[in-house]
């Protein structure tokens, strides 16, 4: 598997750049990952999504769907698309240090 340097650490990633091991993620990596996909500034609303995804993943063992983020996380779908345009589940998972969600191309 490929590796990339983030904050001076070599981190194992997939061919698409998703972290292989979510436990290697830390909050200081999120802004770097976000910049890679065109999000220059993480707002409190972004962090709400990121933190929900991380905690839900830890509790359930799978990456939450958009529906779950809306219903369980209280994050409106429209807002998800505004925060993470052109693929909110995939982009939010990327910034959150999780794998690629099932069903994403």
Q: Which residues pair with 6 in a beta bridge?
A: 9
Q: Tell me which of 18, 82, 104, 105 is the catalytic residue.
A: 104
Cβ-contact 86, 39 below 8 angstroms: no
Check if 80 is active-site: no
* DSSP-derived 3-state class of residue 99: coil
Cβ-contact 69, 49 below 8 angstroms: yes
Sign of CA dihedral 69, 71, 72, 74: positive
Catalytic residue list: 104
């Amino acid at each position: 598997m490929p590796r990339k340097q983030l904050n001076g650490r070599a981190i194992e990633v997939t061919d698409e750049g998703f972290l292989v091991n979510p436990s290697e993620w830390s909050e200081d990596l999120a802004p770097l990952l976000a910049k890679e996909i065109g999000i220059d500034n993480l707002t409190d609303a972004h962090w709400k999504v990121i933190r929900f995804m991380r905690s839900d993943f830890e509790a359930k063992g799978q990456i939450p769907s958009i529906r779950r983020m809306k219903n369980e996380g209280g994050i409106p779908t429209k807002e998800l698309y505004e925060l993470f345009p052109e693929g909110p589940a995939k982009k939010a998972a990327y910034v959150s240090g999780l794998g690629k969600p099932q069903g994403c191309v």
